[in-house]
Structure 1
Amino acid sequence: MVNVAVVIILLLPGVALSAAPPDASMPHLAQRHGAIQLIVGGQPFLMRAGELENSSASSLPYLDTLWPRLEAMHFNAVIAPVYWNLIEPQQGRFDFSTVDGLIEGARAHDMRLVLLWFGSWKNSMSSYVPAWVKRGASRYPRARRSDGTPMEILSALDQANLQADSAAFVALMKHLKQTDGQRHTVVMVQVENEVGMIPEARDHGPLADAAFHAPVPKALTDYLSKHKENLAPELEAAWRAHGFKTGADWEDTFGAGERTDELFTAWTEGRYTGEVAAAGKAVYPLPMYVNAALIRPGKRPGEYPSGGPLPHLFDVWRAAAPAVDFLAPDIYFPNFTEWGEKYALRGEPFFIPETGRVSGAQMGANGLHAYAQWNAMGYSPYAPEFLSPHDARAVGQAYDVVEQLTPLILAHQGSGKMVGMLPRTHFDGSVDLEPQSFVFGDYKVVASFRKPGSTSIGAKVDADASATHGGLIIQVGPNDFWFAGTGITVYFEPSGKGRSAVGIESIWEGRFIDGRWIAGREMNGDDTNQGRHLSLPDDEFSIRRVTLYHYH
């Protein structure tokens, strides 16, 4: 245990996302050929990650049992918590043994780390604050319900809470700089975890009530005024309905009700989180993000974590927390593509730090789509250590394919020459298996998620559908493509008008070994239905090299 003196550093103006730090070898975000990528050691780094279950990183002996299993799934990165209560058991006295053990384990297994700061809030609650904070409620006040009842949630309006959290986070970042500032095992940090207020839409403590009835902070209304033409529709409508007021309290500015309560929570918890991030960045400027718990249909603020970094609150979070580099979704709902599209915004970093509640094969298919379609810098199933053997094999097989294709994926993100293939699934679990079409120069590529019926006499006409579909396409030349995925049949047509047709010159299976393509079988004859299509087989993830041609 060491005694560490900490200076709290106030929030500073944000820095452009693509700006490299003074030491360009440090992990940072940079825009390359239309995509924002994570740069590690001067090179783009594509994370094949998994986020450990909340308690796994609290025991180094337990962690030792996990590394081989994560290696077997082809991980190159692990997302793991750092627990405030464990690193600062006594105020001002720090114990980084769990952090150091985590870093040593990652290095021994050639993996990078994304650290989760379990500070003031984890899934809205303050369960990871130290005992001296939990027992010191008079000094570290809690948020309160509308009836005055205190909750196990630190108030975001209290400076003592902010100072204690910031001091611990600064100590962590200082320690990382000292122990990892050359090796860069830790490449990114998540600040807090699934911030938001439950079971009510806002804090009703005395400090919160006073702030709610005071003028909306000028920093927020200035930001909204500057971005008035591009605000979230719900926010813009509420502000417009009250005359785009500035200098008035929250209800006079946006109206009375739980939606305004949620805007207030987004500002107050976003500001708090942003100041913690800024203090840590001033010591050691790793990329930092905040993750979001998403919304079930029909739920109201407080029934989900009110005020979190959700799409209808992006504007408030951007104004409140400029030191936070990006906002990331934890996608556990079936409508994976719908939520991904809300966060994968042009010109912004994209990362899925948590996902799950589907089969391992579907997690793999979703990942391929995210890397290709949304330029994801990383993808991460939650609690991979608890996957069934079957699901672990499926995730590992998908990550094996991603590992082989990583140079191609990184080179083509943002280029317009790479797309993801994934059927849309709705929240109720129903799946749209309609074919999807993509145009690459002279070719139209049609991805079908149903097996073609056999052409044999007497065979049934109805096409079967497999349980899992997903993959990617990369065009590397006018007639040359890479396909990868599972459960997809691909047809080829000319993209323009005319009397020409498209033929398959060749399809090869194979693997990349040490970056070199080693061809296996040529897939022809029955394997292409006599030259009619490409098949990415069910129940496995595979790569195909395809060359096409036109004929008349």
Structure 2
Amino acid sequence: MMQFAKIGSAFTALALAAAAQAEPPRLVKQGTATQLTVQGKPMLLIAGELGNSSASSAAYMAPHWKRLKAMHLNTVLAPVSWELIEPVEGRFDFSSVDALIREARANDLKLVFLWFGAWKNSMSTYVPGWVKRDQVRFPRAQLPNGQGVEILSAMAPATLEADQKAFAALMAHIKTVDDRQNTVLMTQVENEIGMLPVARDYGPLADAAFKGPVPAELMNWLQQHRDSLVPQMKQLWEEQGARTGGTWAEVFGPGHQAEEIFTAWHYARFADALTRAGKAAYAMPMYVNVALNRPGRLPGEYPSGGPLPHLIDIWKAGAPAIDFLAPDIYFPNFVDIVNVYKRPDNPLFIPEANNADHPQVPGNALYAIGKLDAIGFGPFSIESIDEKPGALGEAYGLLKQLAPHILAAQGLGRMSAFRPKALYDETLVYEPITEKIGDYRFTVAFADIQKPVATPDTANAGGIIIQTGAEDYLIAGQGITVTFAPLGPGPSLAGIDSDWEGEFDAQGRWVAGRLLNGDQTHQGRHIRLPAGKFQIQKIRLYRYQ
């Protein structure tokens, strides 16, 4: 009887293990941070996004997989286009999806799929031919003169229904082939949604809706969240929206402003319904990305109505099923932008962090992950540099070594990151940055402070500081000089007990290099990580009077 009990217990344990393996990736809070948990363990996405057409060909991708792995990536963001998986209505071909999953597994990489469905970069060029050609069933958005544009109207029920069926079929297929291995971690819903070259669709369905009342659902949400709205929306709501109701123009004012909010609401509702259909098939994390607007441009001169900084609240109201909104950042003022998207209701993930060869990318990766607890970071066209990864490969190698320590510290006040802030005009702001981490105040200065603009050397400057014990810290990066002072009661001066350079091996064990002192620490005055080479130093501080 005892033996049967043991066998039963063994089967129960196996069943529980299988159930745990079958759970899709999910988002979990740790302190103030949100982490992606994969098979019960948090994961930091050290990622890169493929070029738009690369994933459509297994032969084209064949030489890249090993090189991406050698660059220290653990995740590849790969497009999946509607036209490839449903070339004939109702007939699905997942061979391109299966090839991506197969090659990712063979190279010990994870995937984030980018659904190029109804819209990609505003346009509707990735939809199947049977959708493109049937403009009665799948109407286009229209200009004020009635001319159609190559953008499907978000107002057409048939478009939503067809997109939902295809997206749900994709998610069901992923669940069937991948729910035990979790090769696919998340899904992006559409790509850079936005209306061009005007602020809204002028087709008959859109015109009728614009002349109708603002939905009570949106009005109530804005009223309930009025104290936490983004500044532009808060001002608008205080000036216009706090009325009892009315048409879009009556509530949000005449002209482009009301038109873009109208567009944002209907895009958000479409994306929310699409997300719900996908999650019903396989409930993994899903997000929407955004193409940002340049300063001084009017709605329609940029992809209008996407989850832009001034429209985040409209998207939060209209698309609660979406887990987060993710900025695609190609502008120099990276620090300003990511701080807008890091919110208590919006964990940070950067799917397109400029082009992979841009000199600011390595420093931006350290900042987003170390300062803002980003789930992950991925520059665009990653395969274009996989033969010569340069500074990005070094930075990713450093993040790979630090990942366990980063994940342990996220959201708990034991970590921060530093880089020179770049303005939109590419000017670098070099003032030292001071922050408290544990019982010490750290001041970080950047190398080459006399240079007025970003260069390949200065733009990469940046680092992460992680507290690992009461007086123990990891300092990693390059191009930074770090000084420190004690906080709280006790001796008022801080010194360096020890400063070891080194690295973590594949098993996460610290392998010490030189014990740094003398000229390398300015006779015990500071920690310096010279420009030009990413490195890790393991330090212990002490106090004296």
Same fold per superposition (TM over 0.5): yes
> Which letter does structure 2 place at the counterpart of 1:118?
F
Aligned to 2:514: 521
Q: Count matched residues.
A: 520
Aligned to 1:448: 445
Q: 1:417 aligned to 402, 414, 417, which one? A: 414
Distance 1:516 1:539 in 2: 25
Aligned to 2:321: 323
Q: Deviations over 1:354-403 (max 9, x none)?
A: 0124755531221111111111111001101112855x122111111111
Query: Contact 1:84 / 1:129 at 8 angstroms: preserved in 2?
Result: yes
> Which letter does structure 2 place at the counterpart of 1:471?
G
What pairs with 1:95-114 in structure 2 (closer than 5 Å)?
95-114=93-112
Aligned to 1:544: 537
Distance 1:523 1:226 in 2: 56
Q: Deviations over 1:14-73 (max 9, x none)?
A: xxxxxxx99873200010232110000110011100000000000011111110110111
- Aligned to 2:407, the other structure's residue is in SS state helix
Deviation at 1:451, TM superposition (A): 5.6
Distance 1:89 1:449 in 2: 53
Distance 1:171 1:152 in 2: 25
- Aligned to 1:394, the other structure's residue is in SS state helix
Aligned to 1:186: 184
Distance 1:382 1:328 in 2: 14
What pairs with 1:336-351 in structure 2 (closer than 5 Å)?
336-346=334-344, 348-351=346-349
Q: Cα gap change, 1:444/1:135 in structure 2, threshold over 3 Å: closer, same or farther?
A: same
Deviation at 1:307, TM superposition (A): 0.6
Query: Contact 2:194 / 2:306 at 8 angstroms: preserved in 1?
Result: yes
Query: Contact 1:490 / 1:534 at 8 angstroms: preserved in 2?
Result: yes
Distance 1:215 1:523 in 2: 69
Q: Cα gap change, 1:216/1:22 in structure 2, threshold over 3 Å: closer, same or farther?
A: farther
Q: Cα gap change, 1:398/1:500 in structure 2, threshold over 3 Å: closer, same or farther?
A: same
What pairs with 1:38-77 in structure 2 (closer than 5 Å)?
38-77=36-75
> Which letter does structure 2 place at the counterpart of 1:370?
A
> Which letter does structure 2 place at the counterpart of 1:516?
R
Deviation at 1:436, TM superposition (A): 0.8
Structure 1 runs (4+) deviating above 6 angstroms are 21-24
1:438 and 2:430 aligned: no
> Which letter does structure 2 place at the counterpart of 1:403?
K
Distance 1:440 1:317 in 2: 35
Q: Cα gap change, 1:467/1:274 in structure 2, threshold over 3 Å: closer, same or farther?
A: closer
What pairs with 1:20-39 in structure 2 (closer than 5 Å)?
25-39=23-37
Deviation at 1:110, TM superposition (A): 0.6
Q: 2:499 aligned to 504, 507, 515, which one? A: 507
> Which letter does structure 2 place at the counterpart of 1:185?
T
Deviation at 1:247, TM superposition (A): 4.2
Aligned to 1:258: 256
1:397 and 2:394 aligned: yes
Q: 1:279 aligned to 269, 277, 292, which one? A: 277
Distance 1:166 1:224 in 2: 28
> Which letter does structure 2 place at the counterpart of 1:271?
R
> Which letter does structure 2 place at the counterpart of 1:71?
K
Query: Contact 1:360 / 1:394 at 8 angstroms: preserved in 2?
Result: no
Aligned to 2:465: 473
TM-score normalised according to structure 2 size: 0.92
Aligned to 2:265: 267
Deviation at 1:311, TM superposition (A): 2.0
> Which letter does structure 2 place at the counterpart of 1:290?
V
Query: Contact 2:478 / 2:532 at 8 angstroms: preserved in 1?
Result: yes
Give the aligned CA root-mean-square deviation in angstroms. Answer: 1.9
Q: Deviations over 1:469-488 (max 9, x none)?
A: 11100112222110000110
Percent of aligned pairs with the same amino acid: 51
Q: Cα gap change, 1:30/1:260 in structure 2, threshold over 3 Å: closer, same or farther?
A: same
Query: Contact 1:451 / 1:488 at 8 angstroms: preserved in 2?
Result: no
Query: Contact 1:34 / 1:347 at 8 angstroms: preserved in 2?
Result: no
Aligned to 1:386: 384
- Aligned to 2:209, the other structure's residue is in SS state helix
Query: Contact 1:486 / 1:538 at 8 angstroms: preserved in 2?
Result: yes
What residue ranges of structure 2 are gaps of 5+ in the alignment?
1-18, 451-456
Query: Contact 1:250 / 1:264 at 8 angstroms: preserved in 2?
Result: yes
Distance 2:433 2:490 in 1: 22
Aligned to 1:116: 114
Query: Contact 1:372 / 1:419 at 8 angstroms: preserved in 2?
Result: yes
Query: Contact 1:216 / 1:253 at 8 angstroms: preserved in 2?
Result: yes
Query: Contact 2:366 / 2:463 at 8 angstroms: preserved in 1?
Result: yes
> Which letter does structure 1 place at the counterpart of 2:143?
R
Q: Deviations over 1:495-525 (max 9, x none)?
A: 4698732211211011111111010111111
Deviation at 1:186, TM superposition (A): 0.5
Deviates more, 1:224-233 or 1:152-161: 224-233
Query: Contact 1:360 / 1:395 at 8 angstroms: preserved in 2?
Result: no
1:168 and 2:161 aligned: no
What pairs with 1:452-467 in structure 2 (closer than 5 Å)?
466-467=458-459
Q: 2:482 aligned to 490, 493, 499, which one? A: 490
> Which letter does structure 1 place at the counterpart of 2:400?
E
> Which letter does structure 1 place at the counterpart of 2:412?
S
What residue ranges of structure 1 are gaps of 5+ in the alignment?
1-20, 454-464
Q: Deviations over 1:276-333 (max 9, x none)?
A: 1111111111100000111211111111111110121111111211111100101111
Deviates more, 1:423-432 or 1:393-402: 393-402
Distance 1:214 1:518 in 2: 67
Deviates more, 1:508-517 or 1:349-358: 349-358
TM-score normalised according to structure 1 size: 0.91
